[in-house]
């Protein structure tokens, strides 16, 4: 495709990004080389530094440059509330959309034996130890409503109960402002099964 091995290498490297195929990677590479070399160099520097310096928080497993992330290191968070999420993206979504002021634990996945993701890979022994410390009173389970997410939620609930912690699950169902005729059958069935008493 290209007479330049460096260009082919750049295109192949860009393909590692989610949603970026061969054509998109080629377009990005050509754009950087034709019109924006300075920003391309800045991007390369930022990528190199991030890959070398960003690790995981020793307490919640979120991305962090320090041994403890700013959420875990801060004193303004409610340490009795612990929200478990599948990924740092989920943590960011909760931070941006809610007034949640508790702490987090990031799994970096969900239980999936076929993909080689078991309790160890998700840091569940570390979570069990944290629940056993007696500080957490409520474990808010915020895994995605997929088959693997639900299996993970069930496992987390058992883990919480074993540690004397009350497990709760994010509500699922009809979106705010949604109309029933446009809601898919699975979501509507889940919402109907989880209906609540109005007071």
When the pLDDT of each residue in the chain is averaged and rounded to a whole number, the result is: 91
* Span(s) in the chain for CATH 1.10.8.420: 5-53
Residue range 109-142, pLDDT digits in tens: 999 988 899 999 999 999 999 999 999 999 999 9
Answer for the pair 180, 124: CB distance below 8 angstroms, yes or no. no
**Residue 198's pLDDT is what?**
64
Question: How far apart, in whole angstroms, are the C-alpha atoms of residue 25 and residue 42?
Answer: 18
**Residue 2's pLDDT is what?**
58
With both helix axes pointing from N to C terminus, report the angle between 22-35 and 5-14 in degrees, rounded to the nearest 10: 120
* Span(s) in the chain for CATH 3.40.1360.10: 63-169
Percent pLDDT > 70 in the chain is 97
Class of domain 63-169: alpha beta
Residue range 139-180, pLDDT digits in tens: 999 999 888 999 999 999 999 999 999 999 988 887 778 777
Please state which architecture CATH assigns to domain 5-53: Orthogonal Bundle (1.10)
Reported confidence tier of residue 101, pLDDT bands at 50, 70, 90: very high
Reported confidence tier of residue 187, pLDDT bands at 50, 70, 90: confident
**Residue 159's pLDDT is what?**
96
Question: How far apart, in whole angstroms, are the C-alpha atoms of residue 195 and residue 7?
Answer: 56
**Residue 176's pLDDT is what?**
77
Residue range 46-95, pLDDT digits in tens: 999 999 999 999 999 999 999 999 999 989 999 999 999 999 999 999 99
């Amino acid at each position: 495709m290209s007479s330049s091995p460096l260009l082919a290498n750049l295109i192949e490297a860009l393909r590692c990004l989610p949603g970026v195929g061969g054509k998109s990677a080629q377009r990005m590479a050509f754009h950087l080389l034709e019109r924006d070399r300075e920003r391309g160099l800045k991007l390369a520097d930022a990528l190199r530094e991030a890959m070398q310096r960003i690790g995981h928080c020793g307490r919640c497993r979120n991305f962090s440059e320090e041994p403890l992330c700013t959420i875990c290191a801060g004193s303004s968070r409610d340490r009795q509330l612990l929200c478990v999420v599948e990924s740092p993206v989920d943590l960011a979504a909760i931070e941006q959309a809610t007034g949640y002021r508790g702490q987090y634990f990031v799994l970096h996945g969900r239980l999936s034996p076929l993909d080689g993701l078991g309790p160890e890979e998700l840091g569940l022994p570390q979570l069990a130890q944290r629940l056993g410390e007696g500080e957490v009173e409520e474990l808010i389970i915020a895994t995605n409503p997929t088959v693997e997410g639900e299996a993970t939620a069930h496992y987390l609930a058992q883990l919480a109960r074993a540690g004397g912690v009350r497990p709760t699950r994010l509500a699922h169902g009809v979106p705010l402002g949604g109309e029933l005729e446009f809601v898919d059958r699975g979501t509507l069935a889940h919402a109907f099964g989880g209906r609540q008493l109005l007071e």
